[in-house]
Amino acid sequence: MSDDKFPGWHGTTIIGVRKGGKVVIAGDGQVSLGQTVIKGTARKVRRLSPGGHDVIAGFAGSTADAFTLLERLEAKLEAAPGQMARACIELAKDWRTDKYLKNLEAMLIVTDGTDLFVITGAGDVLEPEHDIVAIGSGGNFALAAARGLMETDLDAEAVARKAMAIAADICVYTNGKLTVETIG
């Protein structure tokens, strides 16, 4: 959307880390409108349980758009139980081709404890090369920090928390009030 129509929503940082048989998704709580912090305790990481299978999802972008995508993802997971990759690909195809969905402005990180993906409106279902993925305005800061921390003795949650703390210190659209979900 062009800047004259979009109110200037910025920010969030979501990170997914896979290490030691566990996958963690962590997200900050800040919601900003332009240069103003509107809320500091938003919950942008959710646990889904379609068909009794645990899935964790974190989102960056428009909240209403993200919830629409999460509902669609849950439906895809219910249609293909235990097949997260297939469900994510089906969601990405719909998102890319559906007249309504292709206008949604959000990104998702999802995991079932085995797979870890980023899903975008461009039709991408991306699996990280180094067991870390991050999105949002502070995503690159968190990603770089986590990459540096992966070779330490820290577990997945500690890596995610430290990386998010570093991103919060650098990115003005990210705060330190985290929601952290672990699976695996």
For the annotated catalytic residues, the residue numbers are 12
Map residue 8 onto helix, strand or coil: coil
Q: Compute the residue count for the chain.
A: 184
Helices 63-79, 84-97: axis angle to 10 degrees equals: 130
Tokens read off for 87: 């469900």
Q: Residue 173 burial (CB < 10 Å; 0-12/13-18/19+)? A: buried
